[in-house]
Amino acid sequence: MDLSAIITYAMVASFTPGPNNIISMTHARNQGFRSTFPFISGVAAGCLLIMLMSSYFNLALYHYIPKITPVLNVFGCIYMLYLAFMIMKKNASTGRESKSEQRKHFSFWFGFTLQLINPKVILYGLTALSVFVLPHTQSHQQFLYYSLLLTLIGISANLSWALGGHLLQQFLLKYERPFHICMGLLLILTAFSLIK
pLDDT tens, position by position, 99-149: 555 555 678 998 999 888 888 888 888 888 887 888 788 888 999 999 999
CA-closest candidate to residue 32, choices 159, 154, 157, 165: 165
What confidence score (pLDDT) does residue 91 get?
A: 60
Alpha helices in 61-93 (DSSP H): 65-89
In whole angstroms, give the CA distance from residue 18 to residue 28.
15
Q: Which of 59-68, 93-102, 120-129 has the lowest mean pLDDT?
A: 93-102
Instruction: Indicate the pLDDT class of residue 94, thresholds 50, 70 and 90.
Output: very low
Is residue 61 over pLDDT 50?
Answer: yes
pTM for the predicted model, two decimal places: 0.72
* Amino acid (1-letter code) at residue 18: G
Higher-pLDDT residue of 14 and 73 is 14
Q: What torsion do the CA atoms of 158, 130, 139, 59 make, to the nearest 10 degrees?
A: 120
Mean pLDDT (whole number) for 13-27: 85
What confidence score (pLDDT) does residue 104 get?
A: 56
Q: Which helix (H) or strand (E) holds 27?
A: helix 19-31
Domain ranges for the chain: 3-194
pLDDT tens, position by position, 143-192: 999 999 999 999 999 999 999 988 987 887 788 788 778 877 877 876 77
**Residue 33, phi then psi, degrees to nearest 5:** -60, -45
Higher-pLDDT residue of 105 and 14 is 14
List Cα–Cα distances, 95 to 90, 138, 152, in angstroms.
6, 46, 30
Is residue 49 over pLDDT 90?
Answer: yes
Contacting residues for 40 by C-beta, under 8 A, at least 6 apart = 24, 111, 155, 158, 159, 162
Higher-pLDDT residue of 157 and 29 is 157
In whole angstroms, give the CA distance from residue 15 to residue 53.
22
In whole angstroms, give the CA distance from residue 125 to residue 147.
8
Contacting residues for 74 by C-beta, under 8 A, at least 6 apart = 194, 195
